[in-house]
Amino acid sequence: MRQRTIRIVGKGERDDLQPFGQESARLIREYIRKHRWNAAPDDYLITDAQGGPLRADSITRVFLNISKRAKLPRPVTPHKLRHYFGCAVLKTSGDLELTRQLLRHRTLHMSLQYARLTKTDVLQKYQRTSPLDRLKRH
């Protein structure tokens, strides 16, 4: 936890260490203190009722139920949150390789779907990087 990384087990039992930020660390510590105080360090952080790993369809069902109870105009799913995360990382960092690694894509091509920019984004980025505007006048 000190290194702010967590082991993620995903599709095909592929696992990786993923970084997380300070606020996530605070929330994870609070969650462990309230709900997982007796768990061993290698136990799953969030489990099903039997203490096993949550399945993807179970997580999606939880999100859909919460969306319904909150009367959201469109349901929120883990996939939508993942897409939002990927777009936000790429938009703030401009780093496609970072986005690829955080989303655990095998190729950069898979991460390119997050590279779509709005017209406002294009204008703002161009204004910051315009070659002509960046020339120093002598």
pLDDT of residue 121: 77
Q: Measured between alpha carbons, how far is 35 from 46 in angstroms, rounded to an integer?
A: 9
pLDDT of residue 138: 45
Task: Give the C-alpha distances (Å, rounded to integers) separating 44 from 16, 23, 38, 47, 87.
Answer: 14, 20, 12, 6, 28
Segments making up each domain of the chain, as ranges: 1-54, 76-138
Q: Measured between alpha carbons, how far is 93 from 102 in angstroms, rounded to an integer?
A: 12
Residues 6+ away with beta carbon under 8 Å from 82:
103
Q: pTM above 0.75? A: no
Mean pLDDT by 10 residues, the chain (138 residues): 80 81 94 89 84 87 94 94 90 90 90 77 81 71
pLDDT of residue 29: 92
